[in-house]
């Protein structure tokens, strides 16, 4: 049965009642409202609202969660949504995220939300809703589609590029990582005839030549809804591509927090030679677990030709590698080659083309003293049973000697940065469950402020002496592989079942490691399987607003140069997806560390409730304790103290500003943000009416 919608304007008294304002505050009816920079997320526990929350967390945007599954959750009514501050009406939330267009079991809460959105022009995101007239769409059976979206390539429309998704070049590919698993489900639908609906992202309708909406804006009853017609989780590429635009749409591009896409790659062991994988014995000669006396092998080391290739590749791809060097590798090579090291000569000649990081002089293990007479190794102990530790003096020597050698050879190093060999000195389980107690003091003695750590075992930044850690992502291209055949053979062993002649790790740990269906071809497996997999995983980090660097080894720049196919794939895919206004950000280690440090402090300030932010018309005010690094995203042209705020990215401005304790006053560019809407009383809002032009298929009722 159809029901009508009443949109009569309120009188001043009715507006006061709708806002829950006390009598006698009629002047608030004409005051420009205050809109707090906070998002309301109403969740049903599904993956779509969890994904939006993850994006808000990642960007540093404050939000309030209301869990529909919680018996103790607050009731969403006028007093929950708004009040007055200093006689001015206040909207407590700048945007509302719902799991669908109407998730409430009863009508009053949705009616209260609708009245709130109308009164303050608050946008609403329907995180995942099926195609139906209440969302401004025809049922999918009329020119649309419902089902798996795996592998489709959606596209940003002209309206989307001119609006919230302008940072994308156009294509929005949906993942299809496993042909046996349905990874994405959704609805492609045609907007209702006569509905005020703008499609931002569409896709081809299977079996037809037409396209239909996946994401669009539905304007009705003085409200705006972003209608998302597919389900997703926070890790899927399609969501990561659209997440920024969803946030910008709901906040009008004015919010606390910020987002950028980062990529940095550290190449460890520069000047050293890495031992090569032995495919006969399935181990690496020189490693403590390669004990068979017949297991011998050669080493892998870059050449001058590899340096020339690296500099050329960097110039072509407009990207800078970070080279983590071990000086003893060059000194040993010179000793064995009449005092000459062509690799050193080439790298010194091109030293300014790279960034350089101290990786210690000899790559010595700097944790406990290792007892390698057993496999796996254990920490050596003193007579009283206590652990033998590498001394502070020895750690300091490794740091300072390498730094002095680099400076003597003209390498432009920053002595506050360090990466220890194998991330040693930090804890490594199960043998060494705590840091070497001498590590912190050695860092402090040498002025180390930023120390690389292994994200796979130590993912959170933490303080160690004078240093903060910089967690690094390992790339699954092995240090002991110089050729594609080496890489694939070792890959087959590690991820192969025992029945396939593999290590059996996947047999013993099925929850965390999947066995290969069959061994990869040593001829084609690298290009056909490993490169797509590793580039997809690295690209996922890039698209996740995650500044953490990746790391590989110098052997991966030598021989078959295994790094480049993966890295070229990541960069080329990225540039095909993003507009030039959103370039990949390539930071050095200390700048990554500082970004992580600021984010942690910002998150702590938000959690403590010490940050207040709101906008009134064209003015944005942020109040935070003195010393707090404040971050916000605003439209281009926004000023702070008469100067344009922040730096440009994706068509907006964002940045970090140290609070002095006084309010930070940002001025938005003209025209100021419109805060218009058609006021209506809560009891006059109809939230389930059928929109114009509706056709109802058999079996469905309105």
pLDDT at 679 over 60: no
Q: HSE (CB half, 13 Å, CA atoms) of 488?
A: 18
Q: To the nearest whole number, what is the mean pLDDT of the chain?
A: 92
CA–CA distance from 511 to each of 198, 236, 494, 505 (Å)? 44, 20, 16, 11
CA–CA distance from 667 to each of 147, 516, 617, 673 (Å)? 46, 57, 9, 11
pLDDT at 204 over 60: yes
The domain that holds 424 is classified in CATH as 3.20.20.370
SS3 for 388? coil
pLDDT at 121 over 90: yes
Q: Give the DSSP H/E element, type plus range, for residue 214.
A: strand 211-220
Q: What integer pLDDT is reported at residue 652 of this predicted model?
A: 98
Residues 459 and 337 both lie in one domain: yes
The position carrying tokens 């060999």 is 421
Q: Total domain count for the chain? A: 3
> What SS3 string covers 552-611?
EEHHHHCCCCCHHHHHHHHHHHHHHHECCCCCCECCCHHHHHHHHHHHHHHHHHHHHCCC
- Residue 689 within any structural domain of the chain: no
Residues 507 and 602 both lie in one domain: no
Between the CA atoms of 557, 561, 563 and 565, what dihedral angle is there, to the nearest 10 degrees? Answer: 150
Residue 508's DSSP bridge partners are: none
In DSSP notation, 419-440 reads: --GGGBTB-BTTTB-S--TTHH
Distance CA 532, CA 178 (A): 13
Residues 269 and 234 both lie in one domain: no
Residues 88 and 211 both lie in one domain: yes
Neighbours of 66 (CB within 10 A): 16
Last residue of a domain, one of 577, 599, 619: 577
The domain that holds 107 is classified in CATH as 3.40.50.880
Residues 426 and 291 both lie in one domain: yes
Distance CA 682, CA 673 (A): 25
- Residue 348 within any structural domain of the chain: yes
pTM for this model (two decimals):
0.91
**Reported confidence tier of residue 30, pLDDT bands at 50, 70, 90:** low
Residue among 130, 114, 198 at smallest CA distance from 160 = 198
Residues 307 and 414 both lie in one domain: yes
Ranges 105-109, 309-313, 397-401, 658-662: which has the least confidence: 105-109
Residue 126's DSSP bridge partners are: 98, 227
**Reported confidence tier of residue 6, pLDDT bands at 50, 70, 90:** very low
Q: What integer pLDDT is reported at residue 442 of this predicted model?
A: 98
Residues 116 and 27 both lie in one domain: yes
- Residue 131 within any structural domain of the chain: yes
- Residue 694 within any structural domain of the chain: no
Q: What integer pLDDT is reported at residue 8 of this predicted model?
A: 34
SS3 for 191? strand
CA–CA distance from 492 to each of 511, 532, 622, 646 (Å)? 19, 16, 55, 48
Residues 569 and 645 both lie in one domain: no
Q: What integer pLDDT is reported at residue 685 of this predicted model?
A: 42
Residues 333 and 457 both lie in one domain: yes
pLDDT at 15 over 90: no
Residues 680 and 550 both lie in one domain: no
| Percent above pLDDT 90 for the chain | 88
- Residue 489 within any structural domain of the chain: yes
pLDDT at 213 over 50: yes
Residues 299 and 174 both lie in one domain: no
- Residue 81 within any structural domain of the chain: yes
pLDDT at 594 over 80: yes
Could you read off the pLDDT of 294-325 as tens digits, one per residue?
888 899 999 999 999 999 999 999 999 999 99
Could you read off the pLDDT of 249-291 as tens digits, one per residue?
999 999 999 999 999 999 999 999 999 999 999 999 988 889 8
Q: What integer pLDDT is reported at residue 695 of this predicted model?
A: 45
- Residue 123 within any structural domain of the chain: yes
Range of the domain at 71: 12-252+676-684
Distance CA 40, CA 93 (A): 6
Q: What integer pLDDT is reported at residue 438 of this predicted model?
A: 98
Residues 293 and 407 both lie in one domain: yes
- Residue 696 within any structural domain of the chain: no
Q: What integer pLDDT is reported at residue 678 of this predicted model?
A: 37
Could you read off the pLDDT of 59-103 as tens digits, one per residue?
999 999 999 999 999 999 999 999 999 999 999 999 999 999 999
Last residue of a domain, one of 577, 606, 634: 577
Q: What integer pLDDT is reported at residue 27 of this predicted model?
A: 45
């Amino acid at each position: 049965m159809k029901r009508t919608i009443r949109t009569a304007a309120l009188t001043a008294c009715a507006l006061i009642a709708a806002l829950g304002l006390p009598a006698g505050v009629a002047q608030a009816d004409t005051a420009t409202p205050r809109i707090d920079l906070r998002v309301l997320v109403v969740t049903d526990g599904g993956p779509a609202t969890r994904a939006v929350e993850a994006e808000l967390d990642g960007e540093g945007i404050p939000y309030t969660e209301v869990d529909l599954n919680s018996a103790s959750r607050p009731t969403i009514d006028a007093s929950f949504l708004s009040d007055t501050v200093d006689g001015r009406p206040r909207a407590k939330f700048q945007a509302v995220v719902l799991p669908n267009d109407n998730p409430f079991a009863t009508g009053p809460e949705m009616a209260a939300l609708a009245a709130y959105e109308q009164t303050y022009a608050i946008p609403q995101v329907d995180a995942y809703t099926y195609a139906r007239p209440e969302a401004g769409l025809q049922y999918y059976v009329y020119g649309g589609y419902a089902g798996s979206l795996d592998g489709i390539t959606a596209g940003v429309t002209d309206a989307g590029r001119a609006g919230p998704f302008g940072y994308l070049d156009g294509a929005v590919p949906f993942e299809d990582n496993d042909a046996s698993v349905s990874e994405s489900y959704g609805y492609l639908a045609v907007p209702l005839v006569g509905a005020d609906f703008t499609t931002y992202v569409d896709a081809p309708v299977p079996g037809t030549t037409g396209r239909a909406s996946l994401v669009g804006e539905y304007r009705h009853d003085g409200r705006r809804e972003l209608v998302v017609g597919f389900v997703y989780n926070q890790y899927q590429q399609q969501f990561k591509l659209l997440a920024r635009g969803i946030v910008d749409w709901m906040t009008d591009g004015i919010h606390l927090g910020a987002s950028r896409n980062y990529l940095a790659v550290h190449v460890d062991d520069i000047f050293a030679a890495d031992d090569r994988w032995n495919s006969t014995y399935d181990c690496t000669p020189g490693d403590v677990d390669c004990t068979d006396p017949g297991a011998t092998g050669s080493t892998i080391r870059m050449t001058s030709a590899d340096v020339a290739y690296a500099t050329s590749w960097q110039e072509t791809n407009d990207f800078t590698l970070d080279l983590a060097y071990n000086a003893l590798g060059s000194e040993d090579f010179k000793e064995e080659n009449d005092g000459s090291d062509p690799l050193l000569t080439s790298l010194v000649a091109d030293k300014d083309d790279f960034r350089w990081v101290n990786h210690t002089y000899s790559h010595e293990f700097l944790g406990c003293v290792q007892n390698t007479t057993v496999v796996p190794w254990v920490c050596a102990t003193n007579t009283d049973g206590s652990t033998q530790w590498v001394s502070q003096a020895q750690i300091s020597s490794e740091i300072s000697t390498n730094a002095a050698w680099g400076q003597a050879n003209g390498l432009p190093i920053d002595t506050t940065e360090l990466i220890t060999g194998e991330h040693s000195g930090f804890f490594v389980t199960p043998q060494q469950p705590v840091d070497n107690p001498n590590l912190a003091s050695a860092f402090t003695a040498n002025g180390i402020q930023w120390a690389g750590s292994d994200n796979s075992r130590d993912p959170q930044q933490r303080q160690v002496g004078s240093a903060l850690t910089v967690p690094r992502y390992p790339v699954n291209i092995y240090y002991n592989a110089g050729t594609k055949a080496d890489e694939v053979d070792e890959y087959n062993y590690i991820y192969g079942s025992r029945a396939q002649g593999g290590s059996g790790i996947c047999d013993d740990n099925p929850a965390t490691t999947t066995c290969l269906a069959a061994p990869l071809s040593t001829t084609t497996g690298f290009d056909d399987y490993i490169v797509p997999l590793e580039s997809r995983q690295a690209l996922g980090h890039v698209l996740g607003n995650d500044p953490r660097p990746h790391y590989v080894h110098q052997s991966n720049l030598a021989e078959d140069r295994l790094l480049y196919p993966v890295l070229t794939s990541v960069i080329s895919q990225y540039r095909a997806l993003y507009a030039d206004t959103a370039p990949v950000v390539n930071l050095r280690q200390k700048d990554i560390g500082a970004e992580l440090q600021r984010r942690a402090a910002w998150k702590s300030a938000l959690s403590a409730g010490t940050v207040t932010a709101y906008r009134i018309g064209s003015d944005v005010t942020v109040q935070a304790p003195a010393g707090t690094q404040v971050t916000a995203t605003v439209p281009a042209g926004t000023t702070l103290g008469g100067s344009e705020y922040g730096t440009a990215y994706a068509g907006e401005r964002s940045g970090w500003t140290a609070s002095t304790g006084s309010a930070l006053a940002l001025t938005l560019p003209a025209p100021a943000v419109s805060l218009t809407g058609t006021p209506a009383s809560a009891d006059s809002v109809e939230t389930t009416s059928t929109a114009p032009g509706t056709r109802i298929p058999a079996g469905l009722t309105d």
